[in-house]
Structure 1
Amino acid sequence: MKKSLKCTKLGLTLSVLLASGVMANSGFANSVERENEFSLDPMIITAQRLERKDLDTPAMTSIITAEDLKNTGASSVFAALEKVTGLSSTAYGAGGEDYGAMLSRANLRGLDKGTLVLINGNPVNLMNYNSMLNVIPVDAVEKIEVVKGSNTVLYGAEAMGGVINIITKKSPQNTGGSVGFQYGSYSKGFEIGAYGEGLNVFYKKENRAKLDPANKLFDPKKTYTIKDKSNNESLFFNYDINDKLSFNYAYNDAKNNYRTAKANGTTTKNNFYYRTLQNAGLTYHDQNNFKSSLTYNKYKIRASGDASTIVDASSIYFDNQKAWKLRNNKDVLVGGISLSRESYEKGDKPTFDRDSAALYTSYTYNISDKFSTVLGLRGHFVKSNSYDDAQNIFLPQIQTLYKINETSAWFTNIGKSFEMPSTTSPYMYGKVSTFIKLKPQEGWNYEMGWKRITDTESLKIAVFRMDIKNKFKWVTEDTLRPDGNSKTYVQINNDKFKNSGLEVEYTKKINDVWQANFGASISDPKSQEKNKAWIQDDARLQFTAGITYRKDKLTANLQVMFLGERQTATNSYYGKHRIPNKVDLNMTFGYELTPKDNVEFGVYNLLDRANPTNTGEYRSLPRNYILSYTRSF
């Protein structure tokens, strides 16, 4: 208890110090070549499917630029997102690694598996998981837009807590490339990039060291997990076929070895997992505001040793969108149609397919120069199959924006959202599959906020509430029928979920050299099983802060993240307890040796804490460093 209290005080103390300008993130604009342009009011595409300035967007937003990724030394998109205000994560290894079919994921506003990830505006979630986060190498990312609150009207299922849009770099007019090498205490690797004549190519390979232990050993008579050496490869390329048509492809291959061992280190099981992720997208976008896209996503996992997992999941999406400017360009009408098929196959069992179609529209009406409203509606239709009943769901949304002056605005955002059961559900049912028909989880999101954005600072404040019914829950089969298996988990509708909270983001450009920011999220995510007591679902407190120094050839960054009042841990060997608080302090330096040579050095988890990354208390890496060198040509 004393230790937990000390950790809480430490996290709050660091956050207060950082908020006063002692530490924070960067916010420099970015391109393939380093620029000095700076903007705290960037253009955002995700929130309304059209470009709008942040100040003109009626939603709480967070933007991570390529320069932010570089300055903070983020090893993956997943690692970068962990610092976003209001976002929590579940991971089984460094940078969002999976453990077999146990997938890492990022969640906005406390709702597990309720956040939709997009790549260049196209959905990439599979099996209700957003594990495609790491399919794109960090060096290929132009920026990441995080839009909180319901976005189901424009993007469909799974956008209940919000949307994360990973926007990749476009090829510049000039031709060039880079070669980089990294060496660290837990990883080493290299990366190659090339661009020119409409083509961008990035390749990265990383070898990771053994982590022992990978999780906490509670019962000395039982086992714990050791993560042995692993490797990870990523490939991404984007090709602009012409000024209207582009194609992108991403591939990620991970080979992991997890062992379970007794307290004395004796191995009891040796599990090998081979996982591949693929994403391909073809996009047509013309000057008449017509956009059409076709996206394919693929997840594949195989196992050997003592593991036997065999899973294939895929999805294909087709989306047509058109925008019209009305009333002398005062208003904008967006309309579109989406078609999708999700597929899942486990071992020798038959393939499960789910087909969906949707019509959506959004109308931005400017009542005056200061006040505007956005009315949205989506009709989402799911075809029945052997496991799902047909669904005809209508989702309304209304947003308002009041421009107080040129630098500040007040907004509201109210929308209905929903999510279909995971495509994995039929394969987990076992004996209950013949009589359980799952309903979508659905509910309402309410958000109200204020933004003030100038040339030197940005302050965003929002309060929100989420009310979800039919929340998905996994239980053992024997709790549903007498002859059920106590080791087989099945998905049911059994819960309600709600969350109310406050989010604050502040960024300050102190001068041409220093920039600081601070973020805070205070909320109460909880769920209820029938008429039982409400149970906490996620952390209640999150504080992030840091500082960036940039002058001449030197860049330095120091940042901290505190996660407190977390939910109850899975293991109760030592009694019911909360997951310990997470305090993550990182420091990075970058130096430009020549216009073409750069060196970077980062130290991560400076406090050397065994930070839990999920309810099973898997651990983040201990204190570690990475030294990297990049040569441009």
Structure 2
Amino acid sequence: MNQKIKYAALGIALACTGWTGASAEQVYELNPITVTAQRTKTTDLKTPSAVDVLTAEDIQKTGATSVQEALKFTTGIIAHAQGPRNISQGTMTNKIVIRGVEKGTLVLVDGVPINQAGRYNLEDIPTESIEKIEVVRGGGAVLYGSEANGGVVNIITKGKRPNLVKAGFGNYGIQNYALSAQAGKLGFTATYDHTGKIDNVSSPDGGRPKGMYFNIRRGEHANFNARYDFNDKLFISHTYGRNSDHYLYRWDGRAYTSVNSKTHKVTVYPEANAGAPYKNELHKTEENLTTIHYDDGNLKANVFYNRRDQHSYNNNATTYPYIGKKYNYNKKYYDSSSYLDETFGIDVSNRWNFKNGSFMLGYDFQREMEDKTVSDKTSMGKVTPGTFNHYTRNMHSFYGQLAYDFTKSTRANLNLRETWTEADAAGNKYDKFTPEFILMHDLDENTMVYGKVGKSFMMPTFTQLYGGGNIRGAENLKPSTGTHYELGWKKNVGKNAWRVALYHYKVDDSQEAKWITEKDGTDKIHYANENIKNTGLELEWTRIQNQNLSWHAGVSFSHPEKQERNVSSEGKETQVSWHDYYGKFGGNFGVTYIAGKLTTAFNVSYLGQRTRDYTPYPSLKAQWLSDLNFSYKANDTSRFFLNIDNLFNRHDIISTSSSTFYDLGRNFMLGYEYKF
């Protein structure tokens, strides 16, 4: 589709409908059912947490093809990315930052944690098999354990799958296909997503070495999910996912000269390399997740096995780094690394009800395993033997909840968790007790206030402890521990739902990555314990005007800060003063409108007063993410759709670390869905 046709289609659709978005089958729900925040079914109004629920219809309105994309218009969330449109760089995956906590998002699929080595690959999870997503903002999620310093994202899959096929095409080589079917008790969903060539997705001023652009040659994501429901209490599911991303680095043509302050080594990036390729970088990830899930209302049990196999390959293209001379391609510099992360887990809990409340007790076990391989081939063709390391860790938890009703209007929850690990390869043993107390009061049948205080924690990963490749391990790294406070007010009145949350937290010993210069002048990543804190206010408003029109809006004000530790080449840490990072002001707005068979959706999010997360902590321009989606339901079997992402065609930075990655320019996908 050329530009004239695309804008003509957009103009016709706008003329017919005006702004907005929803589904012809369902309008925005004011008081959805949630299960994640308290491990039991409650309405949003009665849930003592800041919760957002995105249904399958809500997700469809955004035109998102992955969970990472679907969450970027949610209050209190920053979608941090290492590349546009679901593309990431191996272990440097995209992140969902909740309330300014970069390392603190616990991701669940049907209540099963999928975090491994601090990564959860939301960009690899397609939206087609999802029934809804529940986002619980705020740390201290004692009921779910490690990694919930910022909050919890629970992805709940569909039981019965619709029989449909879908295909979409757009600019930048975008292709998206989906097939879904149900045969008796067995349902499955298969998806494939492709992004083509994108040049200059990064700034040449960031990264190591400096002076080059990252260019994407190809990004692919394939996913297959099957679920068999034995009955309404027991099901087994398996998900296979695969992504493959290809980057090409090119010199930008400017001359750079740097001098190492310790070794006085001079490095020159010459102008002669303008536009020349530096290296190819290939990343591939395969993941298998198998889960057996049982839930009879009181007794809940999950048994799961998660395996993620990541490979990265780097080789020089036609120029040798720093010199600017043509180089023999047959003697190309080559290196590779791989991570095989495996987790086996069991989670069992039961709830007993009594006259004025209930008591829940559970046990959680996870065995974490990692195989790491790093190999190098020198530029002279000599092979450096690869290094191989195998790590294991067993983690146990007992957790419980006492829910007690003092009166019909006043209730309290006491949540407790005791977590300990068996000794790992370095002899590290961790032991953490995390309590949480919540008090709730109904001002009337449509208004609730709550207050809570709780602790959170996060275990260091094997990579952080033992390093590998260009990462120097820190075997004495401590688990992070957070203290969280929150006051909330919720009210449903007429066509409106109002939500307000005031929070404060401080996380001590957060595990943070630092670039250090070794004695030989090489740069490496070193992990150190640092402190972070934030105080913020979130306001949300949803209104259902009528069956055809609804909208929602949210704003957040916060002040995330970090107290860093500088690291010397000898590994000595020196604590420095507090500094700002991420953004202080955020907002989001979405509006929906249904005109006959045509549904139109518009969503936008804003992040302002942004600060870089590295010295000297420069400010970033504000970020605007926008999306316009049209869905035309011709009949019960046929639906046409047009999604326009980055409607304002902004060149915004979507990362906050030392490297700079940009959002994809205005892009669209036009497609057709057929139900059979």
Structure 2 length normalisation: TM-score?
0.84
Task: Report how far residue 438 of structure 1 moved.
Answer: 1.4
* AA partner of residue 349 (structure 2): Q
Superposed counterparts of 1:200-599, under 5 Å:
200-218=187-205, 222-263=211-252, 264-286=274-296, 289-306=298-315, 307-327=335-355, 330-347=356-373, 348-387=387-426, 389-428=428-467, 436-454=475-493, 456-476=495-515, 483=519, 486-493=522-529, 495-529=530-564, 531-568=575-612, 577-599=618-640
Superposed counterparts of 1:73-152, under 5 Å:
73-131=63-121, 133-152=122-141
Alpha-carbon spacing, 1:300–1:282, altered in 2? closer, same or farther (3 Å): same
Task: Report how far residue 362 of structure 1 moved.
Answer: 0.5
Q: Determine if contact 1:89/1:105 at 8 Å carries over to the other structure.
A: yes
Alpha-carbon spacing, 1:332–1:631, altered in 2? closer, same or farther (3 Å): same
* AA partner of residue 67 (structure 2): V
- Aligned partners of 1:355, 1:25: CA distance in 2, in Å? 47
* AA partner of residue 266 (structure 1): A
Q: Secondary structure at the match of 1:369?
A: coil
Deviations 1:449-502 (A, max 9, x none): 1001245221100000011111212234557xxx58742212122x21100000
- Give the strand-richer structure, 1 or 2: 2
- Aligned partners of 1:431, 1:628: CA distance in 2, in Å? 43
Task: Report how far residue 586 of structure 1 moved.
Answer: 1.5
- Aligned partners of 2:409, 2:293: CA distance in 1, in Å? 35
Deviations 1:406-438 (A, max 9, x none): 111001121101101122123427899798411
Alpha-carbon spacing, 1:422–1:96, altered in 2? closer, same or farther (3 Å): farther
Which structure: larger Rg? 2
Task: Report how far residue 135 of structure 1 moved.
Answer: 4.2
Deviations 1:85-117 (A, max 9, x none): 111122122344211221111121111111100
- Aligned partners of 2:39, 2:487: CA distance in 1, in Å? 21
Aligned to 1:45: 35
2:181 pairs, out of 194, 216, 225, with 194
Q: Secondary structure at the match of 2:100?
A: coil
Task: Report how far residue 275 of structure 1 moved.
Answer: 1.3
Q: Secondary structure at the match of 1:424?
A: helix
Task: Report how far residue 147 of structure 1 moved.
Answer: 0.8
> Is residue 614 from structure 1 mapped to residue 655 from structure 2 by the alignment?
yes
Task: Report how far residue 552 of structure 1 moved.
Answer: 2.7
Q: Determine if contact 1:315/1:343 at 8 Å carries over to the other structure.
A: yes
Q: Determine if contact 1:429/1:491 at 8 Å carries over to the other structure.
A: no
Q: Determine if contact 2:27/2:550 at 8 Å carries over to the other structure.
A: no
- Aligned partners of 2:408, 2:337: CA distance in 1, in Å? 58
Aligned to 1:72: 62
Alpha-carbon spacing, 1:75–1:243, altered in 2? closer, same or farther (3 Å): closer
* AA partner of residue 139 (structure 2): S
Alpha-carbon spacing, 1:604–1:434, altered in 2? closer, same or farther (3 Å): closer
Alpha-carbon spacing, 1:596–1:412, altered in 2? closer, same or farther (3 Å): same
Q: Determine if contact 2:472/2:525 at 8 Å carries over to the other structure.
A: no
Task: Report how far residue 614 of structure 1 moved.
Answer: 0.7
Q: Determine if contact 1:135/1:251 at 8 Å carries over to the other structure.
A: no
* AA partner of residue 103 (structure 2): K
Alpha-carbon spacing, 1:392–1:221, altered in 2? closer, same or farther (3 Å): closer
- Aligned partners of 2:520, 2:111: CA distance in 1, in Å? 43
- Aligned partners of 1:96, 1:586: CA distance in 2, in Å? 16
* AA partner of residue 110 (structure 1): G
* Residues matched between the structures, number: 592
Q: Determine if contact 1:39/1:455 at 8 Å carries over to the other structure.
A: no
Alpha-carbon spacing, 1:608–1:403, altered in 2? closer, same or farther (3 Å): same
Q: Secondary structure at the match of 1:82?
A: helix
Aligned to 1:178: 164
Aligned to 1:627: 670
Q: Secondary structure at the match of 2:337?
A: coil
Q: Determine if contact 1:85/1:519 at 8 Å carries over to the other structure.
A: yes
- Aligned partners of 1:317, 1:564: CA distance in 2, in Å? 40
Q: Secondary structure at the match of 1:334?
A: strand
Task: Report how far residue 163 of structure 1 moved.
Answer: 0.4
* AA partner of residue 150 (structure 2): G
- Aligned partners of 1:25, 1:588: CA distance in 2, in Å? 7
Deviations 1:146-202 (A, max 9, x none): 111224321010011110000011117xxx610111011120132111014222211
Task: Report how far residue 389 of structure 1 moved.
Answer: 2.1
Task: Report how far residue 233 of structure 1 moved.
Answer: 0.8
Task: Report how far residue 136 of structure 1 moved.
Answer: 3.3
- Aligned partners of 1:145, 1:221: CA distance in 2, in Å? 40
Q: Secondary structure at the match of 2:620?
A: coil
Deviations 1:52-108 (A, max 9, x none): 111111111111110001112112110111111111122122344211221111121
Aligned to 2:331: none
* AA partner of residue 167 (structure 1): I
Identical aligned residues as a percent: 28
RMSD (Å), alpha carbons: 2.3
- Aligned partners of 1:46, 1:389: CA distance in 2, in Å? 31
Task: Report how far residue 579 of structure 1 moved.
Answer: 2.5
Alpha-carbon spacing, 1:251–1:134, altered in 2? closer, same or farther (3 Å): farther
* AA partner of residue 290 (structure 1): L
* AA partner of residue 341 (structure 2): A
Deviations 1:571-611 (A, max 9, x none): x8xx8632321112211100011210000001111111111
Alpha-carbon spacing, 1:162–1:388, altered in 2? closer, same or farther (3 Å): farther
- Aligned partners of 1:87, 1:506: CA distance in 2, in Å? 16
Q: Secondary structure at the match of 2:583?
A: coil
Q: Determine if contact 2:471/2:524 at 8 Å carries over to the other structure.
A: no
Greater shift after overlay, 303-312 or 136-145?
Answer: 303-312
- Aligned partners of 1:415, 1:171: CA distance in 2, in Å? 37
Q: Determine if contact 2:359/2:402 at 8 Å carries over to the other structure.
A: yes
Aligned to 2:570: none
Task: Report how far residue 334 of structure 1 moved.
Answer: 1.1
- Aligned partners of 1:484, 1:418: CA distance in 2, in Å? 36
Task: Report how far residue 221 of structure 1 moved.
Answer: 8.0
Greater shift after overlay, 545-554 or 350-359?
Answer: 545-554
Alpha-carbon spacing, 1:161–1:24, altered in 2? closer, same or farther (3 Å): farther
Task: Report how far residue 36 of structure 1 moved.
Answer: 4.1
Q: Secondary structure at the match of 2:30?
A: coil
- Aligned partners of 2:176, 2:130: CA distance in 1, in Å? 19
Aligned to 1:605: 646
Aligned to 1:55: 45
Deviations 1:199-232 (A, max 9, x none): 2211111221111011123389821110112322
Q: Determine if contact 1:506/1:517 at 8 Å carries over to the other structure.
A: yes
Q: Determine if contact 1:518/1:546 at 8 Å carries over to the other structure.
A: yes
- Aligned partners of 2:134, 2:510: CA distance in 1, in Å? 27
